[in-house]
Chain A
Amino acid sequence: MRFPLLALLLAAAAGAQQAPLLCPPAPAGRPCEAFHYHVALFRPDPRGFSELAAVQPYATQAACERAREQAVAANERVVAAMRVKDQKYEADRFGPCHCDMTALTDVQRVQQLRTAEDIRLRVRERLLDYKVPVDSDPMRALYAEPPITPALSTPKLVPLPSTAPSPLVTSPDDLKPTNTFDTTKPTIAALDLPLVEIEQSGAPAPALSTAEASPPAGPEASPPPPPVETVEEQTVQPEPEVVPEAPAVVEEPAELSAEAAAERFISYETERIQNVLKASAAITDEDVKTKIFEACMQRIQLLSNLRLLIEGSGSRSALAAAARDAQSEADRLAFVARLFGEGVKPHWAPSDARDVVFDVEPEIAAAPERALRDTTGRFSGEQKKRALYLVLAQTQPSEDQRLWLSTVVEGFLR
């Protein structure tokens, strides 16, 4: 065992005398993953050098240089102590830091390390022989190793952090608003009942009142539809239960004024929608009931706006004429269909209260006025009529808007 080891040391020593203390060059273009340096260790007995390439690798050239400098400094302290008694003692030879290209097997690495440690022990033995104390600086320098970064000693099992849990973040924006009611709607529903002219018993009417001397044909001129019966609980009732009877056609002047025509049409339709509401009272599903209520509220708003349009369009307008002519149920529905599209008919005079509710395409529902004003041809005539329904049902048009709407309506009726 001893002979082969000695032979190995001698062979290594012979090599180390001339070795360049470098690895073979790294292939071009390949990044260097680790740097190290070689060292030719001086062995005092028998004298010679042994090359050690199995030095710890470092991630960077700079780290390697620092470790090398520390090793050189430590060796200098040992050499100084040795040269007190042995002038010919030589310093270790340190090669430059370079890319670690050694491909040592574990056995070769261990062998090199064993050789290095044996040399270290021989130096130690010599220092002891020179009476250098075991706890002196040269002795410590002999075993000096670069310190290991303490952070690398992190335990493998760490306790979970004991930080307080992050505060709960709750923003009301996370939540959805309810849309089962609309608080933006006016608190007072539209009332379409007309005031009646009051005769002043024998007293002459004031001069100003001549302007309104021709009273509109009040509802008394056309008796209201009879009260409707409510629908039975959750049962779809046939049309007669919900739809009021057509009012009796009364004797009237050859041509009703726009106001009178509006009054007759609107009051009839107002009662129709009130009957729908009344019928919906029998429905127990609150959700459905709410939807019917919403639809009726919209219809009342629409009728109110339609009245203004009819009145404002003048007696000779197509709108007033159409309102005037809409006396039978069929005429009424035809008039409504011309204004708001064929699809509205079953919802206008619903056979079941639930049918008063109807959906419009989301694209139109989102911006009905834009759809109505569209000139690009993106919306069909029917779609525009449904948009008209929504505009009248959901808004309170200004005077300017009413003028524009009158034009639109005239266009639909023409």
Chain B
Amino acid sequence: MKMRLLILFFFALGAFAQEEDEFTKSVFFGKKFADMGDYASAVEQYAKADAAKPDQPAVLYNLAVVLARAGRYAEAQVKVDRYLELFPEGAERANVGRLQLELQFQRELQKKRQADQEYADLFNRARFSYGRGELAEALRLYAQAEQLRPTDAATVYNQGIVLEKQGDYVKAIERFRRYSELEGDLEKKATIDERVFTLQRELDDRATKIVCGFCGRKLPSGATWCERCWHGPYAVQSPVWNSRACASGASATRATYFADGRFSRNDVLPCLWKEGSVLESLRWSAAKQREIQAARKAEGWTYSGDIIQGNKELRFVQGPQYLEKIVATSGGEILTYVAHEHGEGMWLLDREDLVVDATRYTNRYTFNEAGRIAQQRVDYQNTAACNHLVSMTADYAWDGDALMSVNLTGGYEGFPAEGSPSSTWTATVSYAYDTNRRLTSEELNVTSQSKTYNVKPHGELRDEVNRLYPTMRLKKAIEGLQRTGDLCVASGAAALANPIDLRPFYALSPNLAIQLPMGVTKAVVTFTY
């Protein structure tokens, strides 16, 4: 029995010694691994030591430290709690207190990192959406991010960028200004101030500028023509020019009548202004300007900066301030322009060459004090008929921006060989407006037309004139001229004529710049809005 007890005692002693060895080894290894910075292995070793001899204060403490160093804070906290439960006055108490604090700090740190991560996720999703062009979504996410960190300048800046891309410059400016408040870096502040200035200028320009529909040039909104291509008129305030809006229910119809009152025909005039008015349709924006220029460039037009220079067929000779000539590169024809400045950036044509349907006209304008056309004189040689040198004049009467009436006269002195015919006509255009100052009707009436042969035509030409006007008598006005029209020579079975050609009066109105068909003496344009 004694022997058995002795054996048991030695066995227990051996086991205890083995356990002690295991404990000592684990503690030693744990320290070594910790010194090497291998905290996972250190944890393993100290855990073994803890298993070998549970609840040793120093082991509990060291295990908690290496667990914390390994980033296993929750487990470290368990060990700290265990230590404090068992050894509230232990030798490591001070360090355990610090470790406790450290673990609290780590929890705080993790909380913060989590918040950071949440913020970073929002930020990155917003960035991703922006990259895909999903601006509304990007803006929503940035706004959400701003709720989390209202003072993060980057979020505010990025909102500004998105809004700018959306074209909402007012809000973009507000965001950039807020960014400027949040940003501490002076250089970045200066950069954003410049950006705000640019956007503000663009906003101002949107309010006060229009774009030339042909070349895309930025013009003051009172400009009649674009001085770099002489397209126009861009009469943004004129009710006459605002009469052809593209809107549901809006219409413009031109009815023409013969001299004897018979109806000739109706023409439905297509709408001109997609945005409803001249101003809205032509209102400047950088994007619109780029679009027009891109379209022209695609057609082969070239630019120097914003100034159009021509294409393969036409060369624009740009003077220092306006387009002075257009030269046809192949045909060599030259169109000449003379202008003067009226107000800043606004140029008015004094003289221009105009080609309509292969007929070349020369327009000369005079203007009233407000820069509106007071008189227009047109000279042309009717090469489409008998080469007569025709002159026409239009006198414009205004009430503010509303054109009230136009008095037109025209005619020519024929050549001796054909009997020196003298041909004249007069016409009036009158305008009616509703109470909203919208044009309701525009009426053209040819009030007189006469032609008188002053001498006998030569030889065969006499017979030709007699065929054209069988009742013609020298120095007597030809009867019924308004009905027949002003005929000059026969061409085969047909006769060539000098119709009343109002096409060069393109600035008068978009509705009546037409060549009146022979015998037509009246045109009435009516509008609905």
Contacts and interface: CB of A to CB of B under 8 A. Distances in A.
Interface of A: 1-2, 5, 34-35, 45, 56-60, 62-64, 66-67, 110, 113-114, 117-118, 120-122, 124-126, 128-129, 134-135, 143, 145-154, 156-161, 163, 165-168, 170-172, 174-181, 183, 187-189, 191, 193-203, 205-206, 208-209, 212, 218-220, 223-224, 227, 267, 270-271, 274, 277-278, 281, 285-287, 293
A166 B290 contact: yes
A201 B99 CA distance: 25
B6 to A, nearest CB: 22
B360 A117 contact: no
Interface string B119-138: 11001000110111101000
B321 interface: no
B356 A153 contact: yes
A121 B119 contact: no
A202 B290 CA distance: 90
A79 B216 CA distance: 51
Contacts of A59: 315, 327-329, 332-334
B226 to A, nearest CB: 10
A113 B389 contact: yes
Contacts of A134: 489-492
A147 B155 contact: no
B242 to A, nearest CB: 13
Contacts of B58: 196-199
Contact of B332 (A2, A62, A172, A200): A62
A55 to B, nearest CB: 12
Interface stretch (B23-31, B424-432, B470-478): B23-31
Contacts of A293: 112
Contacts of B213: 157-160
Nearest to A205: B24
A5 B415 CA distance: 11
Contacts of A57: 334
B333 A5 contact: no
A128 B130 contact: no
B291 A161 contact: yes
Contacts of B358: 147-148, 150, 153
Contacts of A160: 213, 274, 281-282, 288, 292
Nearest to A130: B460
Contacts of A277: 105, 108
Interface in B14-35: 20-21, 23-25, 27-28, 30-31, 34
B152 A175 contact: no
Interface stretch (B88-96, B399-407, B515-523): B88-96
Interface of B: 20-21, 23-25, 27-28, 30-31, 34, 49, 56, 58-59, 61-62, 65-66, 68-69, 71, 91-92, 94-95, 97-99, 101-102, 105-106, 108-109, 112-113, 116, 119-120, 123, 127-128, 130-133, 135, 149, 151-155, 157-158, 161, 165, 213-214, 230-233, 272, 274, 281-282, 287-288, 290-292, 294-296, 298, 311, 313-315, 326-335, 354-358, 360, 381, 383, 387-389, 413, 415-418, 420, 455, 458-461, 463-464, 489-492, 506, 510
Given A178-B149, A198-B62, A287-B151, 10 more contacts: A64-B332, A118-B415, A118-B417, A147-B358, A148-B360, A149-B331, A161-B294, A165-B287, A166-B294, A285-B151
A57 B335 CA distance: 10
A278 B328 CA distance: 83
Interface of A, secondary structure class, is loop
Nearest to A65: B332
Contact of B24 (A45, A183, A189, A200): A200
A148 B131 CA distance: 52
Given A179-B154, A220-B92, A271 B98 contact: yes
A151 B130 contact: no
A189 B106 contact: yes
Contacts of A224: 94, 97-98
A128 B464 CA distance: 9
B191 to A, nearest CB: 11
Given A62-B332, A196-B61, A125 B461 contact: yes
A114 B415 contact: yes
Contacts of A178: 119-120, 123, 149, 152, 154-155
A366 to B, nearest CB: 13
A89 to B, nearest CB: 16
The residue in A63, A167, A223 that gathers the most chain B C-beta atoms within 10 A of its C-beta is A63
B328 A219 contact: no
Contact of A135 (B20, B91, B214, B491): B491
A118 B416 contact: yes
Contacts of A168: 133, 135, 165
B161 A175 contact: yes
Contact of A200 (B20, B108, B232, B415): B20
Contacts of A63: 328, 330-333
A157 to B, nearest CB: 7
Which are the 9 A-B pairs with shortest beta-carbon distances? Answer: A63-B332, A161-B295, A58-B332, A128-B460, A121-B417, A149-B328, A181-B116, A149-B331, A135-B492
Contact of A2 (B49, B416, B492): B416
Contacts of A165: 287, 291
29 contacts: A35-B332, A59-B328, A59-B329, A63-B330, A63-B331, A67-B332, A134-B489, A146-B331, A147-B331, A153-B355, A156-B230, A157-B233, A160-B213, A160-B281, A163-B294, A170-B135, A176-B157, A178-B119, A189-B105, A193-B98, A195-B31, A195-B62, A202-B20, A203-B23, A205-B24, A206-B24, A271-B101, A287-B151, A287-B152
A171 B138 CA distance: 13
Contacts of B128: 172
A274 B101 contact: yes
Contact of B95 (A1, A2, A166, A219): A219
A187 B149 contact: no
Given A189-B106, A191-B69, A172 B131 contact: yes
A198 to B, nearest CB: 4
A122 B416 CA distance: 9
A24 B466 CA distance: 45
A296 to B, nearest CB: 9
Contact of A156 (B157, B231, B291): B231
